């Protein structure tokens, strides 16, 4: 039987501003990528999401990012490796406090935005992220794109490397994500997202932006929480997967 984890980016708010419907999404997903204050999130939000996730048995993941609140972590930045490693560890440690207070723990790490995309190919930045994870907890799984430098270096360092796919993002023929600056980078048709989810879970394949079928084998499927109708779409995806015999469960 095929098995897949469903993750979503949560806690993406700051102060009185909230972007994601955390409570409702936590009733659907099995893993929560919680913003740790660098691209979004604050102490109160992090604590609240950890409490909600722990109540529902959803795994808590640290979504680490470049320090870029104004740009939502999606702007390219050049951060010295030692500084990036320290900031990754700092974000994980901050979230761990709230996870433990809720009776849970940080179960994995997932980079966000510009950092996520950069460490697909950039070995120096990928190594810095791995160093930061090792500094925080040498047993934490790392979630990332199949074939990325991040997962390669994480595995070499002894960290569990977990592959991830995106149901609502367009892929290049090389298996990387189409940049958000390009038209069609985000797949918005709900029916298409649902069917892509099923294909990724059952056959490990998806149609690229050129129409080619490419292999994307992943243990976890990301459903973005900041898209319109995110909660209903996530429910449809989970219902379709389970109705098709796919077991939905956390990887961590």
The pLDDT tens digits for 85-104 are 999 999 999 999 999 999 99
pTM: predicted TM-score of the whole model, two decimal places: 0.95
Distances from the Cα of 64 to the Cα of 79, 112, 133, 239, angstroms: 14, 6, 10, 29
- CATH code of 229's domain: 3.20.20.370
pLDDT value of position 251 = 97
The pLDDT tens digits for 195-231 are 999 999 999 999 999 999 999 999 999 988 777 788 9
Q: 212: domain range?
A: 3-248
CA 127 – CA 123 distance, rounded (Å): 6
Collapsed DSSP state (helix, strand, coil) of residue 50: helix
CA atoms within 13 A on the CB side of 215: 3
Taking a C-beta distance cutoff of 8 angstroms, is the pair 234, 25 a contact?
yes
Does position 143 have pLDDT exceeding 90, yes or no? yes
The pLDDT tens digits for 24-76 are 999 999 999 999 999 999 999 999 999 999 999 999 999 999 999 999 999 99
> What domain count does the chain have?
1
Distances from the Cα of 66 to the Cα of 3, 91, 113, 186, 232, angstroms: 32, 10, 8, 22, 30
């Amino acid at each position: 039987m095929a098995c897949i984890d469903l993750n979503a980016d949560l806690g993406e708010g700051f102060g009185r501003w909230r972007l994601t419907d955390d409570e409702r999404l936590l009733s659907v997903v099995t893993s929560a990528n919680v913003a740790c204050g660098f691209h979004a999130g604050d102490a109160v939000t992090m604590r609240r999401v950890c409490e909600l996730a722990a109540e529902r048995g959803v795994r808590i993941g640290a979504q680490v990012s470049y320090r870029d609140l104004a740009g939502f972590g999606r702007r390219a930045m050049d951060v010295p490796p030692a500084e990036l490693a320290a900031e990754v560890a700092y974000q994980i440690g901050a979230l761990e406090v709230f996870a433990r207070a809720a009776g849970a723990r940080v179960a994995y790490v997932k980079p966000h935005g510009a950092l996520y995309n950069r460490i697909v190919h950039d070995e120096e930045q990928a190594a810095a992220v791995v160093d930061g994870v090792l500094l925080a907890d040498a047993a934490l799984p790392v979630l990332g794109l199949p074939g990325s430098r991040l997962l390669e270096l994480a595995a070499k360092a002894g960290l569990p490397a977990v592959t991830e796919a995106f149901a609502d993002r367009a892929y290049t023929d090389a298996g990387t994500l189409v940049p958000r600056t390009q038209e069609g980078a985000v797949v918005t048709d709900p029916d298409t997202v649902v069917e892509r989810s099923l294909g990724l879970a059952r056959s490990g394949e998806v149609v690229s932006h050129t129409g080619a079928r490419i292999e994307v084998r992943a243990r976890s499927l990301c459903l973005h929480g900041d898209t319109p109708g995110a909660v209903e779409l996530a429910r449809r995806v989970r219902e379709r997967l389970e109705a098709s015999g796919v077991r939905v469960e956390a990887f961590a």
